[in-house]
Amino acid sequence: MIARYNVLCVMAAAALTLARAHAAPQTDAKLVEIAAALSGNEAHRADLLATAALSDPDLTGLQKARLLLNRGLALELQGAHAGALVDLTQAIDSRALPQSEQAFALFERGMALDGAGRLTDALGDYDASLKLSAGDAAALNNRANVLRRLSRFDEARRDYLASLAAGNSHPEYPYYGLGQVAEAQNDAEAARSNYAKAVAANPAYGLAADRLKALGGQQAGGATDDGVIHLRPPQGMAAQTAAPAPAPAATQAKIPAVPPLPNPSPPRLRSLAELARAASAPLPLRPAIMDRGAGTAGASQVQLGSWRQEAEATEAWARAVRQAGGDLAGLSPRIVAVDLPGRGRYYRLRVSPDEGATKFCASLTAKGLDCLPVRD
């Protein structure tokens, strides 16, 4: 997955060069800067850049939609899911995005709803995305996950096989899904065969390795996928599959694409899924990923960052206490482990301040700390 992030960084740099060569407006250059921040795991910076750019009263409809899409991605990566859903929905409902970007926005919102367990809504967004981007391997895989969890096994199998036929760059995901379907239908032999194919495609894919072992199959390679991208607070997520069995088949994530500039054609990365030519009339749209095991529902909290390892979050708390100059005195930290579909597990550092979260964050931000008001 690191390679995909690196390719995206190269694309961002190339798009920025194009922006300069074509004397693109300031907002278009800002969009490239935001996309580069997202590809570099700097979700908080991308959020700030997009928010500042959205204050321009002279934005075109397309520029505003692209800024909302990028800010929605940044908010989702930071765990501000309610805000992410609002931004993604506004971007989609504007109807200003080109077809490929509209498909991408629908996919992202579908993945957020999928992770929240809102299966019917997620299915609607995956359907709409595939109507605009037929043959998208990631969307086919994720729609199959939803169909399987709705016990629509024949349709799920169809989509998993279609995802493989479309050249899915992570075949372990649809193979694992096919194994889950076979298990649900009490076909242990077919389940073992598909889990074995998933492990052969990625020996470190723990979900498939665990199920293969449980069914008496030969386990190859490591048992867990421990990820390769380490987070820097409070920037984004790594791509990793880390949900415990019996979890849904790994949801396949797309890395945020560099927004195309007005004149040049948008760059394409086949490994991120084909941006197909299809398209039909306007589609009915349906309106993010929720924390699991979070504390008191509705409690006002602030988030100080996200880390790949729990120990890193613990160390970050000690540093924050020293830097906060008393603002964190008397508060107890809470480290929340969260599994994001297709992005993996990370650890969020949160506290519940005595005063209002917005005012509290303003004080910490003035002291150089990252702080984001959140609610469970």
At 193-210, the pLDDT tens digits run 999 999 999 999 888 999
Identify the pLDDT of residue 344. Answer: 65
Confidence of residue 218 (pLDDT cuts 50, 70, 90): low
Identify the pLDDT of residue 145. Answer: 94
Q: What does the pLDDT average to over 139-143?
A: 95
Can you read off the two tokens belonging to residue 127? Answer: 């359907």
The residue among 183, 114, 170, 9 whose CA lies nearest residue 340 is 114
Find the range with the poorest average confidence among 50-54, 179-183, 287-291, 323-327. 287-291
Identify the pLDDT of residue 245. Answer: 39
Q: What does the pLDDT average to over 3-29?
A: 50
Confidence of residue 263 (pLDDT cuts 50, 70, 90): very low
Classify residue 354 by burial, with Cβ atoms within 10 Å: 0-12, 13-18, 19+.
exposed
- Complete domains list, the chain, with CATH: 300-375 (3.30.70.1070)
Residue burial 275-292, b: 16+ Cβ < 10 Å; e: rest: bbeeeeeebebbebbebe
Residue percentage of the chain with pLDDT more than 70: 70
Q: Which helix (H) or strand (E) holds 349?
A: strand 344-351
Identify the pLDDT of residue 341. Answer: 54
Is the pLDDT at 21 greater than 50? The verdict is no
d(CA 37, CA 323): 25
d(CA 108, CA 129): 9
Classify residue 368 by burial, with Cβ atoms within 10 Å: 0-12, 13-18, 19+.
exposed
At 300-341, the pLDDT tens digits run 788 888 887 888 888 888 888 888 888 888 888 888 887 665
Identify the pLDDT of residue 295. Answer: 36
Is the pLDDT at 136 greater than 70? The verdict is yes
Q: Are strands 334-340 and 344-351 parallel, antiparallel or unpaired?
A: antiparallel
Question: Which amino acid is present at 277?
Answer: R
Confidence of residue 287 (pLDDT cuts 50, 70, 90): very low
Identify the pLDDT of residue 343. Answer: 61
Give the range with max mean pLDDT: 189-198, 298-307, 351-360, 365-374: 189-198
Identify the pLDDT of residue 356. Answer: 83
Q: What is the mean pLDDT of the chain?
A: 75
Q: What does the pLDDT average to over 25-42?
A: 86
Task: Name the β-bridge partners of 306.
Answer: 348
- Specify the pTM: 0.60
